[in-house]
Structure 1
C-alpha cells in the first residue's frame, strides 16, 4: 500500500472532532489529540512501499553501493 493523504487527513479530523466538546481539562485533550495524531502518522508511515531498483552489490562479506529506490 502507499501513503494516502486523504486517509491521514480523515484520521486527523477525527482526532480533533472528538475533542471539540472537551470543557474540563485542556491538557488531557491535548494529550489525547497528540496520541491520536502520532498513531495515525505512524500507521501511515508503516503503509509505505519501498521498491528496490538496484544499485547494491555484494561480495563475500559486505554489501556496497547506493540503494536506488522508489517510495510510494
Structure 2
C-alpha cells in the first residue's frame, strides 16, 4: 500500500491498532510513548508533525513495514 499523506498514514495506523484490538494505552506502553501523545496523534491527523522515530516504533509494534522513497523531480 502506498500512502502519500500524514493524514492517510495516521488513519492506517489507527485502523491497524483497532484491528489488533490494542487500546491507545496499550500502544503507548508498547511504544514507550505517552497516552496523550497517541491520542493527539490519532485525533489530529495531518495537523501535527510526527517524528520519524515515532513512526518506526508504531510500525514495528503494529506489524507493518515503513518504507521511505525519495524521488528527484
Pairwise TM-score range, normalised by the shorter structure: 0.3 to 0.5
TM-score normalised by L of structure 1: 0.33
**Structure with the bigger percentage of strand:** 1
TM-score normalised by L of structure 2: 0.33
**Based on CA coordinates, which of the two structures has the bigger radius of gyration?**
1
